[in-house]
Every structure is written in C-alpha cells, then in structure tokens.
C-alpha cells in the first residue's frame, strides 16, 4: 500500500493501477476512520479492482469557530485500517499541496445550487457545501475514479455531490452507502470521539427520535410536523435541535405528507457537540 501526499506522484501511480487492474474505486475521507468508513472500503473493494482512499481535513469546508483545529488526525491508525482492507493507495496531501495559491478569496470554488444548500446543514454552516463540492471535485480530478463511495449519514452532502456530478458531467459513478451504527444505535461518526460518557448517553436519544418518526408513520400519521413534534419528546432535555425535518430524499424539498422514501434528518448539539443523523422511511 502506498501513502502519498504528492499530486503528480499520485496521478502516476493511479495510471499504473488503472492499466494493471482496471476499475478504480475511490473513498474520500477526512481520516479518523471508523467502521462507517470501513463499510465504504469493503463495498469499494467488492466492486472495483483497486481502491484509493484520500485523507484530507479540508479547511475550506469549515467555518470560523468550527472544529477544524481539533478534528481528529490519526494517519498511522487510519493506514492500518486501510492496509487491513487491502487499499492500494492512500492520498494524504497537505493544505499547501491542495491549495498552493491560498484559500478563500483567491480560490476558484464550485457552488452547488442555492436551493440545495439553503436546507438542513447548509442553513447552519454557511458555504460548507461550496467547500465540500470544491474539494471533492479537486479530488475527482486528481484520482479520476470510476466509482466513488459516500456515506448516507451526510445525506445532504451525498445529494449535492450527485447533483454536481450530473450537472458538470463528471465521469464518475457516485455510490451512497448505508449508515453504520454502534450496537446502541448511535450513528458512527469521527466526531463521536468528542463525546464524554454522559454526553454519549444523551446522544442516543437522537436515533430514538428518528425511530419514533418511523413508528408514527407506520401507525398511520402522515403529517410531517405532527410526527416530528411528537418524536421530539424522545429527545433528552440537553439535546438542542438545529433542525429536525422531513424532506424528499432526492430534491431536498419539504414534503407535505410522509411517504415511503421520505428523508427524516436531524442535527442537534449535545453538550456543544454537533451531531447529525437521518433515516429514510
């Protein structure tokens, strides 16, 4: 397994891998790999001949005051996980390598349509999805994968990336993979490492509240607001909601009635730690 930070070297190696093996799979990450990421690696390995993982904590998708500085960085541990999963190459560039001409005002950015950004996390994390779309497009241009794998946990990210790929005719197949949960239901996330034991117990109520919406839907409740209002009662008192919404899982438009395939998404702070989760009815 190669671990490379240089863009040109990465391109050369991938050219060889493509020639030798064929279909190139790609799993973009910010590192701090957990079983959620591993499920993407496993799927990519099943479907592709060689798999590349990128590890890059992208400054452009963090706003001032967010957790860019404290985001967990553990290249050695991540490399072991990749090695175990027979990954061909880890691309782990520096900020200087990815953004040699600097950030913000001097950087060309990909701006996904505002109607996709004005919802859910986009309402609370201004420009976040410009930063995500920009780095993902840069990574696609460097790696040129045939297939790329993203987790359904970041549902809005997945929808926006699919939209950008369609709109800009990027020759890559985007594959969404199911959320992986701890045995107690907590959605796996690199940010779970910030949770103390007590906060983690409170955080469990987030998934419980999503399951409550599903239960209500299955018992015949079709009005999204009534279902969400009732489900909020399952949340621990210390869980502060950013949003708790029912949306169309492809367009992100609000739904008037709950039906199969509706996305139910929540973001909430537990003792200052922001977590997101969702289910599809």
- State which residue, 10 or 205, has the beta carbon closest to ligand PAF: 10
- We find the least distance from the C-beta atom of residue 258 to ligand PAF, in angstroms, to be 27
Task: Indicate which residue of 2, 34, 37, 128 is catalytic.
Answer: 37
| Min CB(235)–ligand PAF separation in Å | 25
**In the block, residue with structure tokens 């946990």:** 153
Choose between 36 and 224: whose C-beta lies nearer to ligand PAF: 36
**Cβ–Cβ < 8 Å for 246, 258:** yes
Tell me whether residue 56 or residue 207 sits nearer to ligand PAF (CB atom): 56
Structure tokens at 201: 């117990």
Write out the residues near ligand PAF by the rule CB under 6 A: 28-30, 58, 61, 132, 135-136, 154, 157
Q: How far is the CB of 236 from ligand PAF (least distance, A)?
A: 26
Largest CA distance in the chain: 57
CA dist 77 and 65 (Å) reads: 27
Cβ at position 27, least distance to ligand PAF in Å:
9
Buried residues in 45-83 as b, exposed as e (16+ CB within 10 A): beebebbbbbbbbbbbbbeeeeeeeebbeeeeebbebbe
Give the Cα separation of 128 and 198 in Å (integer). Answer: 29
> Residue 136 or 255: which CB sits closer to ligand PAF?
136
Which residues have CB under 8 Å from 10's CB, separation 6+? 4, 89, 91, 142, 143
- Beta-carbon neighbour count of residue 21 at 10 Å? 13
Q: Is 2 a catalytic residue?
A: no
Given the complex with ligand PAF, which of 111 and 218 has the nearer CB atom? 111
Q: Min. distance of Cβ 136 from ligand PAF in angstroms?
A: 6
Identify which of 77, 105, 103, 106 has the alpha carbon closest to the alpha carbon of residue 193.
77
Which amino acids are annotated catalytic?
37
């Amino acid at each position: 397994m190669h671990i490379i930070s240089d863009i040109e070297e990465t391109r050369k190696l991938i050219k060889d891998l493509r020639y030798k093996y064929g279909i190139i799979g790609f799993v973009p990450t910010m590192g701090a790999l957990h079983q959620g990421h591993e499920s993407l690696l496993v799927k990519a390995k099943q479907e592709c001949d060689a798999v590349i993982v990128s590890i890059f904590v992208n400054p452009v998708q963090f706003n001032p005051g967010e957790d860019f500085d404290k985001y967990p960085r553990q290249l050695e541990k991540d490399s072991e996980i990749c090695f175990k999963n027979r990954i061909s190459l880890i691309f782990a560039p520096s900020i200087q390598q990815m953004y040699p001409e600097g950030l913000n005002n001097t950087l060309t950015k990909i701006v996904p349509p505002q109607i996709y950004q004005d919802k859910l996390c986009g309402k609370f994390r201004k420009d976040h999805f410009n930063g995500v779309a920009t780095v993902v497009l840069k990574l696609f241009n460097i790696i040129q994968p045939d297939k790329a794998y993203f987790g359904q946990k970041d549902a809005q990210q997945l929808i926006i990336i699919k939209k950008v790929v369609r709109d800009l005719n990027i020759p890559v197949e985007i594959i969404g993979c199911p959320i992986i949960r701890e045995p107690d239901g907590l959605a796996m996330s690199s940010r779970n490492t910030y949770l103390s034991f007590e906060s983690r117990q409170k955080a469990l109520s987030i998934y419980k509240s999503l399951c409550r919406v599903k239960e209500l839907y299955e018992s015949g409740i079709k009005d999204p607001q009534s279902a969400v209002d009732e489900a909020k009662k399952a949340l621990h008192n210390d869980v502060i909601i950013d949003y708790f919404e029912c949306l169309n899982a492809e367009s992100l438009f609000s739904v008037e009635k709950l039906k199969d395939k509706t996305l139910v998404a929540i973001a909430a702070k537990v003792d200052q730690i922001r977590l997101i989760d969702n289910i599809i009815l």
